[in-house]
Amino acid sequence: MVSTGMARKVDDLGRIVLPVEMRRMFGIHPGDELEIGVDGASILLRKIEARCVFCGAEAELRPYRHKQVCATCSQELLTGDAQNGFVDTPLGDLKL
Ligand SMILES: [Zn+2]
Protein backbone atom coordinates (compact mmCIF):
# COMPACT_ATOMS: atom_id res chain seq x y z
CA MET A 1 0.00 0.00 0.00
CA VAL A 2 1.23 3.47 -0.87
CA SER A 3 0.55 5.96 1.92
CA THR A 4 -0.85 9.31 0.83
CA GLY A 5 -0.14 10.97 4.17
CA MET A 6 -3.82 11.91 4.38
CA ALA A 7 -5.89 10.92 7.40
CA ARG A 8 -9.57 11.28 8.25
CA LYS A 9 -11.50 10.67 11.45
CA VAL A 10 -14.35 8.18 11.54
CA ASP A 11 -17.59 9.79 12.74
CA ASP A 12 -20.15 8.34 15.17
CA LEU A 13 -21.84 6.39 12.38
CA GLY A 14 -18.59 4.89 11.07
CA ARG A 15 -18.36 7.23 8.09
CA ILE A 16 -15.26 8.87 6.67
CA VAL A 17 -14.93 11.53 3.99
CA LEU A 18 -12.72 10.59 1.06
CA PRO A 19 -10.37 13.49 0.33
CA VAL A 20 -11.41 15.42 -2.77
CA GLU A 21 -8.03 14.76 -4.35
CA MET A 22 -8.66 11.02 -4.12
CA ARG A 23 -12.19 11.37 -5.50
CA ARG A 24 -10.90 13.33 -8.46
CA MET A 25 -8.02 10.92 -9.05
CA PHE A 26 -10.37 7.93 -9.18
CA GLY A 27 -13.36 9.64 -10.81
CA ILE A 28 -15.60 9.04 -7.78
CA HIS A 29 -18.81 11.09 -7.81
CA PRO A 30 -21.79 11.33 -5.42
CA GLY A 31 -23.95 8.24 -5.82
CA ASP A 32 -21.14 6.01 -7.13
CA GLU A 33 -20.80 2.62 -5.46
CA LEU A 34 -17.54 1.41 -3.95
CA GLU A 35 -16.66 -2.21 -3.33
CA ILE A 36 -15.14 -2.71 0.13
CA GLY A 37 -12.49 -5.37 0.51
CA VAL A 38 -9.89 -6.51 3.00
CA ASP A 39 -6.23 -7.29 2.36
CA GLY A 40 -4.52 -8.35 5.57
CA ALA A 41 -4.74 -5.37 7.92
CA SER A 42 -5.86 -2.97 5.16
CA ILE A 43 -9.34 -1.98 3.99
CA LEU A 44 -9.52 -1.53 0.22
CA LEU A 45 -12.06 0.51 -1.75
CA ARG A 46 -12.69 -0.06 -5.46
CA LYS A 47 -15.09 1.94 -7.59
CA ILE A 48 -17.82 -0.20 -9.10
CA GLU A 49 -18.30 0.91 -12.68
CA ALA A 50 -22.00 1.23 -13.49
CA ARG A 51 -21.42 1.44 -17.24
CA CYS A 52 -20.00 -0.82 -19.91
CA VAL A 53 -16.31 0.05 -20.43
CA PHE A 54 -16.76 -0.26 -24.21
CA CYS A 55 -20.08 1.40 -25.10
CA GLY A 56 -21.28 3.10 -21.89
CA ALA A 57 -24.49 1.03 -21.65
CA GLU A 58 -26.01 0.79 -18.17
CA ALA A 59 -28.09 -2.39 -18.61
CA GLU A 60 -27.22 -6.09 -18.47
CA LEU A 61 -23.73 -5.51 -17.09
CA ARG A 62 -21.45 -8.39 -16.22
CA PRO A 63 -18.19 -8.06 -14.33
CA TYR A 64 -15.02 -9.10 -16.12
CA ARG A 65 -11.64 -8.52 -14.47
CA HIS A 66 -13.07 -5.78 -12.26
CA LYS A 67 -14.65 -3.98 -15.25
CA GLN A 68 -18.27 -3.98 -16.39
CA VAL A 69 -19.14 -5.23 -19.88
CA CYS A 70 -22.70 -5.22 -21.29
CA ALA A 71 -24.30 -8.32 -22.80
CA THR A 72 -24.07 -6.88 -26.34
CA CYS A 73 -20.35 -6.12 -26.11
CA SER A 74 -19.71 -9.47 -24.44
CA GLN A 75 -21.38 -11.22 -27.34
CA GLU A 76 -19.48 -9.14 -29.91
CA LEU A 77 -16.19 -9.97 -28.22
CA LEU A 78 -17.05 -13.66 -28.31
CA THR A 79 -18.09 -13.65 -31.97
CA GLY A 80 -15.57 -11.10 -33.29
CA ASP A 81 -18.34 -8.95 -34.79
CA ALA A 82 -16.59 -6.57 -37.26
CA GLN A 83 -19.63 -4.31 -37.70
CA ASN A 84 -19.00 -2.45 -34.47
CA GLY A 85 -15.35 -1.57 -34.82
CA PHE A 86 -13.91 -4.89 -33.78
CA VAL A 87 -11.82 -6.05 -36.71
CA ASP A 88 -10.42 -9.53 -36.58
CA THR A 89 -7.04 -9.00 -38.23
CA PRO A 90 -4.63 -11.91 -38.38
CA LEU A 91 -1.38 -10.96 -36.62
CA GLY A 92 0.57 -11.54 -39.87
CA ASP A 93 -1.41 -8.75 -41.60
CA LEU A 94 -0.66 -6.06 -39.03
CA LYS A 95 1.65 -3.28 -40.16
CA LEU A 96 3.34 -1.58 -37.24
ZN1 LIG B 1 -21.15 -2.43 -24.11
Are 7 and 36 in the same domain? yes
How remote is the CA of residue 87 from the centroid of ligand 1, in Å?
A: 16
Contacts of 43 (CB under 8 A, 6+ apart): 36, 37
**What's the number of domains the chain is made of?**
2
Task: List pLDDT tens digits, range 48-66.
Answer: 878 899 999 999 998 888 7
pTM listed for this prediction: 0.54
How remote is the CA of residue 68 from the centroid of ligand 1, in Å?
A: 8
Q: What is the mean pLDDT of residues 68-93?
A: 73
Are 5 and 44 in the same domain? yes
What DSSP assignment string belongs to 50-88? Answer: -S-TTT---SSEEEETTEEEEHHHHHHHHHT-GGGT---
Instruction: Examine the pLDDT at 11 and tell me if it is beyond 80.
Output: yes
Among 66, 79, 71, residue whose Cα is nearest residue 55: 71
Range in 32-36, 61-65, 79-83 the model is least confident about: 79-83
Residue 47 has what DSSP assignment?
A: E
Are 39 and 54 in the same domain? no
Which is it for the CA torsion 46, 47, 53, 57, positive or negative?
Answer: positive
Domain range enclosing 28: 1-48
Through-space distance between the first and last CA atoms of the chain, rounded to whole angstroms: 37
How remote is the CA of residue 21 from the centroid of ligand 1, in Å?
A: 29
How remote is the CA of residue 40 from the centroid of ligand 1, in Å?
A: 35
Contacts of 54 (CB under 8 A, 6+ apart): 69, 70, 73
Instruction: Examine the pLDDT at 17 and tell me if it is beyond 80.
Output: yes
Are 40 and 7 in the same domain? yes
In a domain, 20, yes or no: yes
